[in-house]
A = this chain, B = another copy of it.
Amino acid sequence: MKGKPLAAIVSAGLSKFGKRDGLSGREIFAEAAKEAFERCPNLEPKKDIGALIVGNMSESFEHQCHLAPIMSDWAGLLHTPALRVEAACASSGAAIRYGLFTILSGICDVVMVGGFEKMTHRTTFEATEYLAMASDFPLEQWNGATFPGLFALMATAHMHEYGTTEEQMALVAVKNHHNATLNPKAHMQREITVDQVLSSRVIAKPLKLFDCSLISDGASCAILTKPEIARKYTDTPVYIIGSGHGTDAIGLYERDSLTSLKATRLAAKEAYEMAGLSPKDIDIAEIHDCFTIAEIIAYEDLGFCNPGEGGKFIEDGVPTLDGELPVNTSGGLKAKGHPVGATGVAQLYEIFLQLTGQAEGRQVENCNIGLTQNLGGSGATCIVHIYRRG
């Protein structure tokens, strides 16, 4: 059967993304949990939820590891078995996957997955250093590479190999900023122009400030159940029908290619096969646009277009809100914000809203199948999930 339900999403919650001064990660996570519980009045959280899996990238931001028990407590779930998973910026994408496995194992009927990161109280220098820990210490960090630099290498290679232009990359930023104006939870809610992107400060050539995603505070969560019991909790479940996890060498120096991410290709292959679907079946997608070039490469690696045609794909308007395959209707990491540990489940949240008709001003009509692609680091990890309206 195409799209056999593996698990159901019966609720989801998202904190406001942005600069959340005066709040700690646990408080922001509680905000996301509260929304998920309020959306699902039939759920008795402490009684029903059998496990909590939380994605978080870095202990350094709040000087806190072993944080899953804290999130369990602050979500009102004291004594619910809780675990942190970490895969850099794909941490909560991994939480979805292992939440799914927990459901499939038969050990728990209801699992909460989520993620958070509190970043903005740190200086840009500190945040850049902490984020850099997701790259290889001996051969990247140690030599001064940071993430804008690593993705700039990919952008340069893509421009060289395929003729992709800075204007095409800028169009990704413009699109995602536009979408974010329709998302009240987005970090930045303002339009930008191609000229603004092109004239913004160079961070790591050819990437400029507006090619880069945001350093944000935020949290996300979702309630997964066995498909059989989903209707107990909601009339409009969304099913997870495919899951893929790709892993590649951590260092760019060891990769087969600079213009394609093998981890994305592997994850997409696994997820499409599990769902029995192909790229042309996808109606809507949330893609990991940590940098504009990453979204362009993902169009290609997810099979939405051919290798090298990602620039043209955005130029043709295919992934815009009223295009054939809207991508990052939430505003993406670029404008909704990128509290790294929260991002994977935040992508799921957007697809959940879209597939259940709750996306308000940015609602895409007639969407039944959604996809999320969550990248870790410079692409050593990729998690892809495919969803179907219930």
Given contacts A78-B247, A81-B245, 11 further A-B contacts (CB under 8 A): A58-B59, A62-B137, A66-B381, A68-B247, A69-B247, A69-B377, A69-B380, A70-B136, A79-B248, A79-B266, A104-B107
Contact of A66 among B80, B101, B250 (CB under 8 A): B250
Q: Smallest distance from the beta carbon of A156 to chain B beta carbons, Å?
A: 23
**Cβ-defined contact, A138 with B249, below 8 A:** no
Known A-B contacts A86-B84, A87-B83, A87-B84; the reply to A66 vs B133 at CB < 8 A is yes
3 tightest A-B CB contacts, nearest first: A104-B105, A81-B245, A66-B88
**Cβ-defined contact, B62 with A60, below 8 A:** no
Instruction: Give per-residue flags for A241-280: 1 if the beta carbon is below 8 A from chain B beta carbons, else 0.
Output: 0010111111000100000001000100000000000000
Pick the most buried of A79, A86, A245, A266: most chain B CB atoms within 10 A of its CB.
Answer: A86
**Cβ-defined contact, B105 with A101, below 8 A:** yes
**Cβ-defined contact, A250 with B70, below 8 A:** yes
A377 surroundings in chain B (CB, below 8 A): 66, 69
Q: Smallest distance from the beta carbon of A326 to chain B beta carbons, Å?
A: 29
Q: Smallest distance from the beta carbon of A143 to chain B beta carbons, Å?
A: 13
A297 within 8 A of B: no
**Cβ-defined contact, A83 with B69, below 8 A:** no
A229 within 8 A of B: no
A86 surroundings in chain B (CB, below 8 A): 65-66, 84-86
Contact of A133 among B59, B137, B381 (CB under 8 A): B59
A246 surroundings in chain B (CB, below 8 A): 79, 81
For chain A residues 57-95, which have a beta carbon within 8 Å of chain B? 57-60, 62-66, 68-70, 72-73, 78-88, 94
A: which residues have CB within 8 A of B? 24, 51, 57-60, 62-66, 68-70, 72-73, 78-88, 94, 98, 100-102, 104-107, 133-138, 141, 243, 245-250, 254, 262, 266, 376-377, 380-381
Known A-B contacts A83-B94, A106-B104; the reply to A249 vs B376 at CB < 8 A is no
Closest B residue by C-beta to A135? B66
A254 surroundings in chain B (CB, below 8 A): 73
Cross-chain pairs A/B with CB under 8 angstroms, 9 sampled = A63-B133, A69-B249, A69-B381, A70-B250, A79-B246, A79-B266, A81-B266, A84-B87, A101-B102
Bound form: Cα–Cα A10–B69 in Å: 32
A80 surroundings in chain B (CB, below 8 A): 247
